[in-house]
Chains A and B, each alone.
Chain A
Amino acid sequence: MGTEPNIRATSSTMWVRTSAPRSRTIRIRDVQHYFGEGEARKQALFNNNLDVYEGEIVIMTGPSGSGKTTLLTLIGTLRTVQEGSLRVLGRELAGASRDELVATRRDIGFIFQAHNLFGSLTAMQNVKMGMELFDFSPKEMKDRATTLLERLDLGKRLNYKPESLSGGQKQRVAIARGLAHGPRIVLADEPTAALDEKTGRTVVTLFQELAQQQGVTIVMVTHDSRILDVADRIVNMVDGEIRSDVVVQEAALICEFLQKLRAFEKLTPATLASIADKMQAEQHSAGDVITRQGEPGDKFYLIRSGEVDVVIDDGTRKRLVARLKDGDFFGETALLTGEPRNATITATKLSLLYSLGKEDFQAAISASASLREELQKVLFERQ
């Protein structure tokens, strides 16, 4: 588990990467974090594991106090790693020297919720402050700053000081400042909070371009549901733990597959998504037996990719009854009826499967039932 470069594990869920392997920019292993000393010491992060790859846009969600900002500050080297391992751009942050931390920090672009622009500097100068630590020529600095500010619709405000800019404009200057030096990782805290729909969209589109064209990793804490669509992954944190880490496209795909199952067809997309959340990835080599006829059923399976043979032994001979491929599922009958497995299923080549445990499966079925009852009750009461 986790040894293959294209498989990653988190505390709650395991998802398979289907795209080509990319280099890992953030690797978090068993990170714990505490605030306070002695008696007042309180644990804020519990066993966090997370991997983020270049070119990925990760949105972190969760109630306030769930630890997402703490995790963000740890990634950003703004807090000291207390327990566990945190590698950013190949550098271990736990126990790193001040100089190493500063070096890492310079590869990161920070976008804070409060813009924190220098009141004494113009938009242009504020953006340049983000570049002066690096070897840009004055012309390059000017060009980069101008391009970014124009891109963020501030072309006419280059020489304005913050006091003559609106909240949204200031926020965009701060975004330009965070991106100007060409960071490999961008850590953003509610970057679109002060922006209207249109400018917020401009900002996230810029993020997407950076991610897709330059492989910039973007980790963003946001409650802005308007921009959730740009996320490649959504990491949900509750009480200092990563509860789910969902590859958005994969989740959508799985939901589509799940909907084909008659037992699930009445479920709402939200319920389907929560089922998808609970599925675990499994990898099987050719010849692996996945279920054996006669054994009790404990899981429901969905084939993400690969191929399996369904063989029934009727006592006299083995009969190949079906060959299942991508998007097919199996194992639900034993769970629905409570009877033992009615067939032996074997992988014929390297296959990736998503499985759902018996209890989760049955909970989903009863959710399906209770939803119906609930709906009827509401409709009845309305009359």
Chain B
Amino acid sequence: MKTPLAWLNLIHNRVRTAVAVSGVAFAIVLMFMQLGFLEAVKASATLIYKGLDFDICIRSPDYLNMADARTFPGSRLLQAKGTEGVARGAAFQTSVAPWRNPTSGEKRGILVMGIGTADDVFLDPQLNRTVRQSLKAPEDVLIDTKTSLEFGPRNGSWLDDANVGLQTEIGGSRIRVAGHFTRGAGLIASGAVLINDRGFRDVVTIHPPEQVSFGFLKLKAGARPDEVAARMRKSLPDDVEVLTRAETLTRETRRWVWETNYGLIFFAGVVVAVIVGTAIVYQVLVSEVTSLLPEYATMRAMGYRDRYLAGIVLQQALALALGGFVPGLVLSQIMYRITSSRAGIPVEFTWFNFFLVLGLSIVMCMVSGLLAMRKTFLADPADLF
């Protein structure tokens, strides 16, 4: 077996190697965090949609997001329900309205979602039951347990049953907390409530009567969503937009990731991480090569070829990439947990990001390695005598 010089050099110069590995790990944590945040943006963007039971969504062509969904005539929903293949449909209203903190009296925007209590619009049957039982009166609301504490829960947590019966105002109308649900309002607001459609009209007065934000349609078994959607598009005028569930989710993701700055910010973060990592690894490798120039020159005099010396540098770069990846991965998982629990943002690990970061860190180290490798060409054995 050949002497594993690259490896032995790394082990020998422990401090230098530790610096490099930490640098790589740092860059990797940075990448994982940025990609994790981006993942969180994607997840948050579609969080509410994903909790709803629908195959086709109709909404205003001016729709921006859940907080600014715009409206369309309720009669379109009736027309849509009449389309062949549709089993049932439900209206769904959303808006942001000022919630009055019951303790301090401060007002904050909260996402208000108005639903028909008998519509079973959620995927979660437990939630549908709660909605039917608790949202009888127009002033009854279910509050999201992920709602921020700024909204003034009793005993410091919205999970607490002590909040049931809490009274305050939304949009100037009196409301009463009737129970909880758990979802998260994503990026739109720091809190959310469910209210029945009558109550919604009371608290959100800007919505014109007979107009709704969404129509969620459920298809009969065997009906193909894209075909039904196509039929619907033909029959409905263009004051509504018809989307399948898949289209709705993709559009929402694309909108939040690419039509806002989120995607750019986090991608820039990844790029910066790669550059920082490359710079750190390059510095370490160059100082390694520079300090070993006479030794490399000696090897060249012995008859070792350029590619052997270059190979040593590249092997070291690869070893640093992998050596930094493991602690980087572990550390970022810990950071994910912390971020998820502290910030209430669902930062999740995905295998796609795993391989992306692994690939990026290898590329990062290889680029540094290739740049540092050129320094070995400075090893001139003629200088040794």
Which residue numbers of A lie inside 8 Å of B, CB to CB? 69, 72-73, 76, 78-79, 102-103, 105-106, 110, 112-114, 116-121, 125, 128-130, 132-133, 138, 161, 177, 181, 189, 221
By the criterion CB–CB under 8 Å, are B385 and A72 in contact? yes
A132 to B382, CA, bound (A): 22
By the criterion CB–CB under 8 Å, are A120 and B8 in contact? yes
By the criterion CB–CB under 8 Å, are B384 and A105 in contact? no
The answer to whether residues A73 and B382 also contact, given A112-B298, A117-B295, A133-B302 and a CB cut-off of 8 A, is yes
In the complex, per-residue mask of B295-309: 1 if CB is within 8 Å of any chain A CB, else 0: 101110111110000
Write the nearest CB–CB distance from B128 to chain A, whole angstroms. Answer: 67
Q: Which of B9-17, B31-39, B146-154 contacts A (4 or more CB under 8 A)?
A: B9-17
Question: What is the chain A residue whose CB lies nearest that of B7?
Answer: A120
B292 at the interface (CB under 8 A from A): yes
By the criterion CB–CB under 8 Å, are A118 and B9 in contact? yes
Within 8 A of A (CB), among B1-25: 1-3, 5, 8-9, 11-13
Can you list 23 A-B contacts with CB-CB less than 8 angstroms, sorted by A residue number?
Answer: A72-B385, A73-B381, A78-B301, A78-B380, A78-B382, A78-B385, A79-B382, A102-B305, A103-B303, A105-B301, A106-B302, A110-B384, A116-B295, A116-B384, A120-B8, A120-B13, A121-B8, A125-B3, A129-B3, A129-B299, A133-B304, A177-B302, A181-B302
B294 at the interface (CB under 8 A from A): yes
In the complex, per-residue mask of B142-165: 1 if CB is within 8 Å of any chain A CB, else 0: 000000000000000000000000
By the criterion CB–CB under 8 Å, are A110 and B298 in contact? yes
**Contact pick for B3, options A73, A105, A132, CB 8 Å:** A132
A182 to B127, CA, bound (A): 84
Please classify how large the interface on chain B is, using the bins under 10, 10 to 19, 20 to 34, 35 or more.
Answer: 20 to 34
Q: A78-B385, A120-B11, A129-B302 are in contact. List 9 more A-B contacts (CB 8 A).
A: A73-B381, A73-B385, A102-B305, A112-B298, A116-B294, A116-B295, A128-B3, A130-B302, A189-B384
A221 to B385, CA, bound (A): 10
By the criterion CB–CB under 8 Å, are B384 and A114 in contact? yes
A106 to B5, CA, bound (A): 20
By the criterion CB–CB under 8 Å, are A78 and B3 in contact? no
By the criterion CB–CB under 8 Å, are B12 and A119 in contact? yes
By the criterion CB–CB under 8 Å, are B1 and A138 in contact? yes
Between B9, B292, B381, the greatest number of chain A beta carbons within 10 A of the residue's beta carbon is seen for: B381
By the criterion CB–CB under 8 Å, are B385 and A69 in contact? yes
Across the A-B interface, give the 5 residue pairs with the lowest CB-CB distance, nearest first.
A120-B12, A106-B303, A120-B8, A116-B298, A78-B382
Question: What is the chain A residue whose CB lies nearest that of B3?
Answer: A125
By the criterion CB–CB under 8 Å, are B3 and A110 in contact? no
- A-side contacts of B385, CB under 8 Å: 69, 72-73, 76, 78, 112-113, 189, 221
- A-side contacts of B299, CB under 8 Å: 129
Write the nearest CB–CB distance from A124 to chain B, whole angstroms. Answer: 10
By the criterion CB–CB under 8 Å, are B295 and A102 in contact? no
A133 to B303, CA, bound (A): 8
- A-side contacts of B302, CB under 8 Å: 105-106, 110, 129-130, 133, 177, 181
A113 to B382, CA, bound (A): 13
The answer to whether residues A102 and B303 also contact, given A73-B382, A114-B294, A129-B3 and a CB cut-off of 8 A, is yes
By the criterion CB–CB under 8 Å, are B9 and A132 in contact? no
By the criterion CB–CB under 8 Å, are B297 and A116 in contact? yes
- A-side contacts of B1, CB under 8 Å: 138
The answer to whether residues A121 and B294 also contact, given A110-B301, A112-B384 and a CB cut-off of 8 A, is no
In the complex, per-residue mask of B342-385: 1 if CB is within 8 Å of any chain A CB, else 0: 00000000000000000000000000000000000000111011
Between B298, B299, B381, the greatest number of chain A beta carbons within 10 A of the residue's beta carbon is seen for: B298
A249 to B5, CA, bound (A): 46
**Contact pick for A118, options B2, B5, B304, B384, CB 8 Å:** B5
- B-side contacts of A79, CB under 8 Å: 382
